[in-house]
Chains A and B, each alone.
Chain A
Amino acid sequence: MDIDSIPAGRQMDSMIADKVFGYIVSYPSTALKDGEAWRGVPAYSTDISDAWKVVDKLRETCCDFSISEGYNAAFLKDEGVFAFTHVWVVSTADTVPVAICRAALKAVMGE
């Protein structure tokens, strides 16, 4: 799958909920199971506040983060104690949420 070609939308939102947060996601209704309750999948790929939850989640679990104009989102995966084991996972998109979501999917799924 070419992550860099996935557009903003419910498919990407659902993939983030599944792959990054580990929720059980109901396709294609885009609901997720949060404990015993079902609720809508946040708009990770279109809403900056929701996209930043993705950043916070990956910072907890694996990665440092950087974003710069372009927009270039980058997660730094620390896979060992040596500098050469640190890997930048980068994605570029027209919007900040999409750049974050694509980079996050690459970080958790591997490129």
Chain B
Amino acid sequence: MTMGIDTMSSGKELDGLIAENVFGWKNLVWKEVSSKVDELGRWTSPTGWHGDGPNGATYLTKAYSTDMGDAWDVVSQLSQKYRISVHDMSVDGKWWQCSLEARDGKYRFPVELAHKGDEFANAETPALAICRAALKAVMGERNGY
């Protein structure tokens, strides 16, 4: 599974996976619908992910893999279990790395030494690196890694 995560692109598929696996959305369905404006001028039933989300939400407004503000929601959601760092890591400035260090109360020595539960991912953008690392972390937890 993690092999596939490292090659996932930013976009709706990854956003949906993050919503399900990190934020607990259920029954997510992508709906291509013509947006309508109700009598109060609000957009209703816009194209996007619809389902059963936290706090009664039924429409996913987040673009985790492309918007840094939304990507940081992922970081906040995982912050009780992981310490995060995001680094610009290439000479040409085209690669970012997100590291999620499990809060296991143990020192890393040498610092590069990953412990069980630590995850990291590389990507062309920081938002995508965060999403890939987050997905690897939560899926690794479920698979007992």
Chain A interface (Cβ within 8 Å of chain B)?
47-49, 52, 59, 64-69, 96
Do A64 and B72 touch (CB < 8 A)?
no
Given the complex, which residues of A lie within 8 Å of B79, measured CB to CB? 69
Shortest distance from the beta carbon of A16 to any chain B beta carbon, whole Å: 16
Residues of chain A lying within 8 A (CB to CB) of residue B2: none
With CB as the reference atom, state the residue of chain A lying closest to B101.
A69
Determine the chain A residues whose CB is within 8 A of the CB of B124 once the complex forms: none
**What chain A residues lie within 8 Å of B56 (beta carbons)?**
none
- Cβ of B84 < 8 Å from any Cβ of A? yes
* Contact A69 B83, beta carbon cutoff 8 Å: yes
A-binding residues in B (CB < 8 A) = 67-69, 72, 79, 83-88, 93, 126
In the assembled complex, the Cα of A47 lies from the Cα of B85 at a distance in Å of 18
Cross-chain contact A52 with B68 (CB below 8 angstroms): yes
B84 lies within 8 A of A69 (CB): yes
- Name the contact of A66 in the complex, choosing from B68, B69, B86, B93 (C-beta under 8 A): B86
Q: Which residue of chain A lies nearest to B69 when distances are taken between CB atoms in the complex?
A: A49
Assess whether A49 is in contact with B67, with CB atoms less than 8 Å apart: yes
Across the interface, which residues of A come within 8 angstroms of B87, CB to CB?
65-67
The residue that B68 contacts in the complex, of A48, A64, A69, with Cβ under 8 A, is A48
Inter-chain CA distance A76–B68, complex, in Å, is 21
- Please name all residues of chain A whose beta carbon is closer than 8 Å to the beta carbon of B67 when the two chains form the complex: 49
Q: Are A47 and B69 in contact (CB under 8 A)?
A: yes
16 other contacts beyond A52-B126, A67-B87, A68-B83, with CB at 8 A cut-off? A47-B69, A48-B69, A48-B72, A49-B67, A59-B88, A59-B93, A65-B88, A66-B86, A66-B87, A66-B88, A67-B86, A68-B84, A68-B85, A68-B86, A69-B84, A69-B85
Give bound CA distance, A69 to B103, whole Å.
12
A59 and B93 alpha carbons, distance in the complex (Å): 7
